[in-house]
Chain A
C-alpha cells in the first residue's frame, strides 16, 4: 500500500462529501418540502429547514388520496417485472455466454437495436397491439411491456456475470456427474447471486419509476402506478407540492428497503469480473 499524508485523505474525503451532498440534495429537498406546512411553503423563501413542520401531507396522501392503490399497483408491477425479466435474462445471458449457435450474432444485434429507439416512437404501435388483447388498463399489460423492454439490457448484464465465471467450474461439475442443468443450478447460480441481485435491482428500479407507458397505456386509476399518481397532484390551476413530495418520499421507501437487502451483493456484483481473482 502507498503511504499518503493527512492532507491527501482530507482532500479525498472532502471530495467524496461534496459529491454525496450534490447527489443527495434533491432527496433532502423532497423531504423538506414534504414536511413543510402549505402556508410556509412560499412564505419563508429559501430555507434549509422550515420553522414549523407537519405530517399533514403524509396523512392526507395515505388517507384521502388514491395513492395507496397506486403504490400497491407499482409494487405488483415492479416486482413481477423484476422477477420475470431476471429469470429470462439469466437464461438468455447464460446462452449467450456459454453456447455458440446459429444466428447468435443477429439475435444479439437485434436486441441491441431494440434499445436504440426512443420509446415515444413505439407507444402507438404498442397501444394498438395491446388494446384488442384487452391489455390496456391492466397491470398485466404493463408487466409484459416492461419485461420486453428490460430483458435485452438485463440479458447483457447477466451475460457479463456469467462470462466472469470460469467455464472450468461447470465442466468440472459435468465430469463430476452433473448434467448441464444441474451444473447450472448447483454451481453457476450460487456464484451468480450477486449478478442476479444486481439485475433484479436494476429492473425493479426501472419498472418502479417508469412513467411513459404507465401513463399512455392506462386511463383508469385502478391500473395506474405511482408515477402516474404523482401527476394527479398537478391540477389545472395549482400543484400540491406538499402532498406530491410526501407521496414521493413514500415511493422511495420500497426502493430503499430493496437496496438495503441487496446492496452487499450489488457492490460485489457490479465489480465482479473487473478484477481477476
Chain B
C-alpha cells in the first residue's frame, strides 16, 4: 500500500495532446475515481500509472519511488481490465497464481494465498474451471482475485463493470467498494459512469479533453461544480442550464449589492457576485432539477408541463421557461398532467452562475 503522487503529467501522441499537466495526490488507502466522457484521457492516465504507455513529461511516484521509467512488472500495481483479460488457457486457480509463480513463491504459499482470496470472493467452487465456463460476474470476481492475491501497492480498475448488466453492476459496485475498504489498498478506478463515480469514490477526478477539470469529494462536485462541464456531467437527470442576464437591483426595495437573474422577462432570483461577471451581464444559470419546486399556478413563475417521465422513485417534468427547456425532478406525487398549467420556484441559493463563454463558475 502506498500513496500515489502525480506531478505535471503530460502525454502526447505526436501532435495531439492527450493529457495536459495533470496534478493529483492520492493518499494511502484512498479510492479515487477518474470520470469523464470517452476520449477524455482517463484511461490513458491509468495506463501511464500502470506503465503500459510511456509518459511525455512529468513525474509519477508510488510511495517514495519515482516510477517514470520502470517496467510495468516492477511497479507493483495490479490492474483489473474492462475485458477482465483472464488467460483463456489457464484455470481460475492458474490465473490467480500466475503472478505469484513468476515471483518464485513456494507452492504452499501460493495455494494458501489463492485459497484465501477465493474464500473472500466466494469463488472456491470455480477454481478448476476455465474462464470460458464462467459468467460475466464470475469472471469479474476472478479478475479481482487475480489482483488481490499479489497484495499490490495499488489497484487500477479500467471500467471493470461496463460489460455487466445493470443489476449485476450495482452489486459488483458494492462488492468492489467493500473489498477495497477491507483491504485498505490505494485504488484508482476509471469509469464513464457518473453514478459509479459518485457512489464509489472517496474523491472524484472529473476529466475532459485531457484536463482534470475538478478534483474533490462526490458532494463537492455535485454541490460546487467548478465549471459547466462538471456541472453537466455529474448528476442525473442532468443540471438545467439557462441563458440569463444579470440586472443590478436598483430602487428603494432593492439591495444594491445584488443582481436579479433574468431569464427572458422572468426573474428567477437574486445573486450576490464578488467578482464581476461579464460586462454585458450575460450568464449561464445552472439549477439542479430536484432544487426546483413545482406547485399550483399562483405560487411562482407560471409555465405548463410539456412531458412527464415517471421513474418510480419520482417524476421528471419537462417544462419551458421563456422559451428554454427545463427539467424538474420531484418525488412528490403529482396530480397535474401534460399541458396543465403549473408554477415553479427556485431558492436564490440554488442558482449557480457560469460564464457562458469560458464555462467557468462565476461566484
Interfacial residues, chain A to chain B (CB-CB below 8 A): 166, 168-169, 171-179, 182, 186-187, 190-191
CB neighbours (8 Å) of B85 from chain A are: 166, 168-169, 171-172
CB neighbours (8 Å) of A173 from chain B are: 87, 98
Q: How far is the CB of A180 from chain B (nearest CB, A)?
A: 9
Q: Which 9 A-B pairs have the closest CB atoms?
A: A176-B99, A168-B85, A172-B85, A177-B102, A174-B72, A177-B73, A168-B81, A190-B89, A175-B72
A205 to B81 CA separation, bound complex (whole angstroms): 41
B303: interface (CB < 8 Å) = no
Let me know if B72 and A171 touch, CB within 8 A. yes
| Total CB contacts across the A-B interface at under 8 A | 57
Let me know if B102 and A175 touch, CB within 8 A. no
Q: Flag B68-109 by CB within 8 Å of A: 1 or 0 each.
A: 000111010111011101011100000000110011000000
Q: How far is the CB of B83 from chain A (nearest CB, A)?
A: 5
A177 to B97 CA separation, bound complex (whole angstroms): 11
B168: interface (CB < 8 Å) = no
Nearest-neighbor residue (CB-CB) of A180 within chain B: B71
A243 to B311 CA separation, bound complex (whole angstroms): 84
Let me know if B73 and A176 touch, CB within 8 A. yes
Let me know if B52 and A171 touch, CB within 8 A. yes
B351: interface (CB < 8 Å) = no
A173-B87, A177-B102, A191-B88 are known; give 15 further A-B pairs, CB within 8 A.
A166-B85, A168-B81, A169-B87, A171-B85, A172-B79, A174-B51, A174-B71, A175-B52, A175-B72, A175-B77, A175-B78, A176-B99, A176-B102, A177-B73, A179-B73
Nearest-neighbor residue (CB-CB) of A187 within chain B: B87
B50: interface (CB < 8 Å) = yes
A169 to B51 CA separation, bound complex (whole angstroms): 15
Q: How far is the CB of A182 from chain B (nearest CB, A)?
A: 7
Residues 8 to 49 of chain B near chain A (Cβ within 8 Å) = none
A9 to B83 CA separation, bound complex (whole angstroms): 39
Nearest-neighbor residue (CB-CB) of A189 within chain B: B89
A177 to B150 CA separation, bound complex (whole angstroms): 10
Let me know if B71 and A179 touch, CB within 8 A. yes
Let me know if B73 and A174 touch, CB within 8 A. yes
Nearest-neighbor residue (CB-CB) of A277 within chain B: B132
Task: Given the known inter-chain contacts A168-B81, A182-B102, please indicate yes or no for A174 contacting B87, CB distance below 8 A.
Answer: no
B146: interface (CB < 8 Å) = yes
Q: Flag B134-174 by CB within 8 Å of A: 1 or 0 each.
A: 00000000000010001000000000000000000000000
CB neighbours (8 Å) of A179 from chain B are: 71, 73
A171 to B79 CA separation, bound complex (whole angstroms): 9
Q: How far is the CB of A169 from chain B (nearest CB, A)?
A: 5
